[in-house]
Amino acid sequence: MSESDFEAPPIGPDAAGEGAPPGPPPPPENRHDEDDRLKSEFVSEVVDRLHGGDIDGVRSLVEPMHAADIADLFELVGRDDRPPLAAALAGLIDGDVLAEMNDWVRDELIDELSATQVAEIAGELETDDAVAIIEDMEEADQRAVLRALDPDDRAAIEEALSYPEESAGRLMRRDAVAVPEHWTIGQVIDFLRAGEEITTDFWEVFVVDPAHRPVGTCLLSWILRTPRRIAIADVMKREQTLIPVDMDQEEVALRFQKYALISAAVVDQAGRLVGMITADDVVHIIQEEASEDILRLSGAGEDDINEPLPQTVRRRLTWLIVNLGTAVIAAAVVGLFQGTISHLVALAVLMPIVSGMGGNAGTQTMAVAVRALALNQLTSSNSIRVFVREFRIALVNGACLGLLLGIAVSLIFRSTDLGIVIALAMVINNLVAGIFGVLVPVTLEKLRVDPAVSSAVFVTMATDVMGFFSFLGLATLWGLGG
Amino acid sequence: MSESDFEAPPIGPDAAGEGAPPGPPPPPENRHDEDDRLKSEFVSEVVDRLHGGDIDGVRSLVEPMHAADIADLFELVGRDDRPPLAAALAGLIDGDVLAEMNDWVRDELIDELSATQVAEIAGELETDDAVAIIEDMEEADQRAVLRALDPDDRAAIEEALSYPEESAGRLMRRDAVAVPEHWTIGQVIDFLRAGEEITTDFWEVFVVDPAHRPVGTCLLSWILRTPRRIAIADVMKREQTLIPVDMDQEEVALRFQKYALISAAVVDQAGRLVGMITADDVVHIIQEEASEDILRLSGAGEDDINEPLPQTVRRRLTWLIVNLGTAVIAAAVVGLFQGTISHLVALAVLMPIVSGMGGNAGTQTMAVAVRALALNQLTSSNSIRVFVREFRIALVNGACLGLLLGIAVSLIFRSTDLGIVIALAMVINNLVAGIFGVLVPVTLEKLRVDPAVSSAVFVTMATDVMGFFSFLGLATLWGLGG
């Protein structure tokens, strides 16, 4: 392993950390903690050397690192330290490092580079990684980089950029290996061995007809396990999962997961092979999409700890103002019952319990429904069944919680009437939570709105409004405030 | 493609759906909607034929389907239809279908099968898939199946089961292909072609030393692109990402993502090669783990729409009762200020706004922190920076929302004092939300508690309690209730 080739770097005059005597850097196997993250001691060591102007010391620490770890290092140091770190590591930051880097951190770094430098880095990369770097740049910068690329790379990247964002066309590599159907295994092997233009890392060979439409696929392991004289048509698998070039990346990811794919052919509208997508890119997408849903459900949108502050504030504030609107509506419902409350202040004490518990139950149901929708588990075939299921859960939970709270309130406030009212309100609000928790995401999905983005605001509004209304309304009817 | 070989099946006497004339089944390309889910028309067609006793009709509809789609079909039909569907499809439900099936649906189905039948199915599968099926069975059933397996399979599965749940050892395939370092590419190719025992689907060959410890790895595409006389040691990559056999599957998934792996060697404590993990299994894990976090954050735990009702109720109810405890604490805080409220009922009307908005802001911050922790983005190197960032966001958002609400309240309630009090309370509660939104998940992570599971309850408690306390407390100090 290269790590054993690691040598202690020369120690600069200011390289020592707080109070630590100058000495060799920690051995590289100590860079990571048990969870595979860079240790904070290692990060501070790098930062200390950087601040001390010990460029050689920084480089010798970073040089043996994997591209993904160098990318992590940039995310972990402070924002102000990133440009000097990039300067210190000139030559070590290649396309692989940029491809692994958090989008926000990368954009900042790329702003510091010239178009020629970016073009040089993009030129080294596979099309999909180069596109990932270039697609986020501003129009003018993008054009400058494209001009600086060599014509072949430029054509490939421009074509990729012509597909919609987050589509298979952006995600794919264009260097899929294709062979004609009439070849033998021997011919395929000779072609692979001789072909100058063939990419180095691939997992299957696509068999195509004369119009370049895929007719089958052959894993490299099958080729290696078969005698040379056999025809590839006899070895290949004819059924294969084809990815349309304009398919959304989330659907691509679900298809990879569903059919347990390692790589898959991408075809254009005429059914011609135009590229391939590999599982390593999909792993990224799945992680991204699934964790985006967590953020969306909570109203934090596409938030990321590396995003610039003003953008984060704007997005979160917009969402909070929408929520403020629904909170005001809920408060207005309370306002309807001021008379009742002024006669029995205990109602004001107890009402947040009813609304809050409805909110909790609604959030549970909603999260289950949003996840089932995202995984294609919840479809029109079973939505009624799922609805009934959640209704029954809500009934049982509401009855249990209502009973518990009703008895406690009866004892503490010495009022059976108040106990009965809060128990009934709890049952009603749990049913509201169960109904809206399924109905809202399913309806939004039908309307082609992302259920993860806006379900919470509707569900919480329903449980707040109905929590206050049922509790205070029942109390008024029962004559508790009279 | 096999789909074009599809033929219209014989139509049974009772095969017609509601009012539809009997006719050939819908062509198979119409089975899926645009999102790759089975259409509800197709599912009802299957169910109608099943209810009509038209077993041949059911089989002819299902026969051309991919294993993953057959698994989906089982999830989409009602629970009562599953055993008769399984009976109708005897022979078509192989290990691949079971491996693709939702855990809950599979467990139900397996309960219907004899140990010998399960053993027969498990015997066809790769170790990792067989283990996935067997590990969820009850102790006694598991033993019965293991006894019915042939000795080789049994040994492999028993060894896999000896590793901790959700570890690399459970996830790995044991049939990794290994060759000695001194071989040439030609020798490797001859070995692959001749070896009877070699698995068919693999993506890299591991080069091992005499003690069976990996010293390098060689993608099959490199082998195919290299002349036979070259030594494999000159082609292989010496740095490779090794997975310890006891590593948690979530860490395995992060490592695959970080280093963009397609497959990786698994090593035991002595560093010997014991198996390999491939990206298709990891895709599954990532989806699972990421979507579990959504459910955990919302207090729904490991919920799934296919889980039996009593288990779901028990888990959700437990969580709701914990939340009931915190709601009572928050209500008790309101109880401290009953005197103030009875003098100014408007406070009861407005107080849910302050607590609710704090809850929303806290949830945003918490979701961002939980995601960053799960992605290894947030470590001890940058936790203070992230904390400061969230504090600043909270300050700006709190000030904006406070100003907005303060002005509105001053105008509507014709009381500048009330406006000032609610504005101040909003700022305070937003800061509480920002502080607890980061502090709670980071502290839980440090204590080795999953932050996704229990962050919400603490954060919401903090924003509820502090929302009521700051608003009602300030109002009392300000003399609003006097």
Strands, sheet with A214-219, edge to edge from the N-terminal-most edge strand = A178-180, A204-208, A214-219
C-beta atoms of B226 and A319 within 8 A = no
- pLDDT-derived band at B482 (thresholds 50, 70, 90) equals low
- Pick B41 or A128 by higher pLDDT: B41
Q: How far is A119 from chain B (nearest CA, A)?
A: 23
B461 lies in some domain: yes
How far is CA B238 from each of CA A63, A68, A450, B28, B216, rounded to the nearest angstrom? 17, 17, 45, 48, 4
Q: Please say if the pLDDT value at position A302 is more than 90.
A: no
**For residue A389, which residues of chain B lie inside 8 Å, CB to CB?**
305, 309
Q: Judge: B300–A364 Cβ closer than 8 Å, yes or no.
A: yes
Interface size A-B, in CB pairs within 8 Å, comes to 401
pLDDT of residue A10: 35
The 10s digit of each residue's pLDDT in A252-297 is: 988 888 888 889 999 999 999 999 999 888 887 887 777 777 788 7
* Mean pLDDT calculated for residue range A313-325: 90
Q: Please say if the pLDDT value at position B10 is more than 80.
A: no
Q: What is the CATH number of the domain that holds A236?
A: 3.10.580.10
Whole-number Cα distances in Å, B243 to A35, A257, A265, A410, B268? 12, 22, 29, 59, 9
Shared domain for A26 and A161, answered yes or no, is yes
Q: How many Å lie between the alpha carbon of B67 and the closest alpha carbon of chain A?
A: 8
How much is the average pLDDT of A317-340? 92
Average pLDDT over residues A402-416: 95
Tell me what pLDDT residue B20 has. Answer: 38
Mean pLDDT of B450-461: 86
pLDDT band at A482 (very low <50, low <70, confident <90, very high): low
Mean pLDDT computed over B321-350? 93
Per-residue pLDDT reduced to its tens digit, B357-408 = 999 999 989 988 988 888 788 888 888 999 999 999 999 999 999 999 999 9
Which residues of A fall within a CB distance of 8 Å from B355? Answer: 352
Which of A219, A386, A396 is the closest to B313 by Cβ? A396
pLDDT for res B22: 40
Q: Which chain B residues have a beta carbon less than 8 Å from that of A290? A: 286-287, 290-291, 293-294
Residue B209 — pLDDT band, cuts 50, 70, 90? very high
* Domain identity same for A278 and A322: no
Q: How far is B145 from chain A (nearest CA, A)?
A: 26
CA distance B360 to chain A (A): 7
Q: Is the pLDDT of residue A29 over 60?
A: no
- Are residue A72 and residue A153 in the same domain, yes or no? yes
pLDDT greater than 60 at residue A11: no
Q: Lowest-pLDDT range, B37-41, B110-114, B274-278, B464-468? A: B110-114
For the segment B202-208, the average pLDDT, to the nearest whole number, is 94
Q: Is residue A482 part of a domain?
A: no
| B155 and B184 fall within a common domain | no
CATH number assigned to the domain comprising residue B432: 1.10.357.20
**B125 and B252 co-located in one domain:** no
Q: What is the pLDDT of residues A101-145, one digit of tens each?
A: 888 888 888 887 888 888 888 887 777 788 888 887 888 888 888
Selecting from B368, B370, B393 the residue whose C-beta is nearest the C-beta of A313 gives B393
Q: Which residues of chain A make contact with B66, given a CB cutoff of 8 A?
A: 239, 259
Does B179 have pLDDT greater than 70?
yes
Residue B12 has pLDDT above 90, yes or no: no
- Would you place residue B168 in the very low, low, confident or very high pLDDT band (cuts 50, 70, 90)? very high
| Contact (CB<8Å) B259/A355 | no
**What is the per-residue DSSP string for A65-93?**
S-HHHHHHHHHHS-GGGHHHHHHHTTTT-
Q: Given A128, A144, A168, which residue is the final one in a domain? A: A168
pLDDT at A19: 38
Q: Which two tokens stand for residue A261?
A: 């794919």
- Hey, what are B218's tokens? 């060689």
Residues from chain B that touch A356, judged by Cβ atoms under 8 A, are: 323, 327, 330, 460, 464
- The answer on A245 and A136 residing in a single domain is no
Cross-chain Cβ contact B368/A192 below 8 Å = no
- Distance separating alpha carbons of residues B32 and A251, to the nearest angstrom: 13
- A427-478 tens-digit pLDDT: 999 999 999 999 999 999 999 888 887 888 899 999 999 999 999 999 999 9
Contacts of A312 in chain B (CB under 8 A): 393
Residue B118, phi-psi category: left (phi > 0), alpha (psi -120 to 50), beta (remainder): alpha
C-alpha–C-alpha distance, residues B200 and B203, integer Å = 10
From B268's Cα to the closest Cα of chain A, the distance in A is 16
CB contact under 8 A, A280 and B278: no
Q: Is A452 found in the same domain as A360?
A: yes
Neighbours of A326 (CB within 10 A): 19
Average pLDDT over chain A reads 86
**pLDDT value, residue B419:** 96
Q: Which of A244, A270, A297 is the last residue of a domain?
A: A297
Any alpha helices (H) in B237-301, and if so which ranges?
Answer: 249-258, 279-297
Contact A251 B35 (CB under 8 A): yes
Residue B244 in any domain: the answer is: yes
Interchain CB distance below 8 Å, B256 and A202: no
List strands edge to edge, sheet with B214-219.
B178-180, B204-208, B214-219
Contact A348 B338 (CB under 8 A): yes
Residues of chain A positioned with their CB less than 8 A from the CB of B313: 393, 396-397
Provide the token pair at B100. Answer: 């693709």
* Domain contains A173: no
For residue B29, name the pLDDT band (cuts at 50, 70, 90): low
Number of domains in chain B: 3
Higher pLDDT, B131 or B209: B209
Binary contact (B102, A38; C-beta < 8 A): no
pLDDT at A56 over 70: yes
Domain boundary among B148, B168, B188: B168
Question: Residues B295-306: pLDDT tens digits?
Answer: 787 777 777 888
B317 CB neighbours in chain A (<8 A) are 396-397, 400-401
For residue A471, give its domain range.
309-477
In a domain, B303, yes or no: no
In a domain, B408, yes or no: yes
Q: Which CATH number characterizes residue B129's domain?
A: 1.25.60.10
Do residue A206 and residue A347 come from a single domain? no
Q: Is residue A252 part of a domain?
A: yes
Q: Which tens digit of pLDDT belongs to each residue from B236-250?
A: 999 888 999 999 988
pLDDT value of residue A231: 95
d(CA B303, CA A368): 7
Do both B322 and B272 map to the same domain?
Answer: no
Distance CA B480, CA B482 (A): 6
Q: What is the mean pLDDT of residues B58-64?
A: 91
Distance from the A396 Cα atom to the nearest Cα atom in chain B, whole angstroms: 7
Give the rounded percent of residues in chain A with a pLDDT score beyond 70. 94
- pLDDT at position B4, please? 37
Residue B290 in domain = no
More confident: B423 or A82: B423
Listed in sequence order, the residues at least 6 apart from B244 whose beta carbon sits closer than 8 Å to its beta carbon are B168, B266, B267, B269
Q: Does B87 share its domain with B216?
A: no
Task: Note the pLDDT tens digit of each residue in A208-244.
Answer: 999 999 999 999 999 999 999 999 999 999 988 899 9
User: Are B254 and B402 members of one domain?
Assistant: no
Q: Where is mean pLDDT largest: A7-21, A266-280, B64-78, B108-122?
A: A266-280
Q: Give me the pLDDT at residue A20, please.
A: 38
ipTM of the complex: 0.79
For residue A5, what pLDDT is reported? 37
Same domain, A286 and A350: no
Average pLDDT of span A39-48: 90
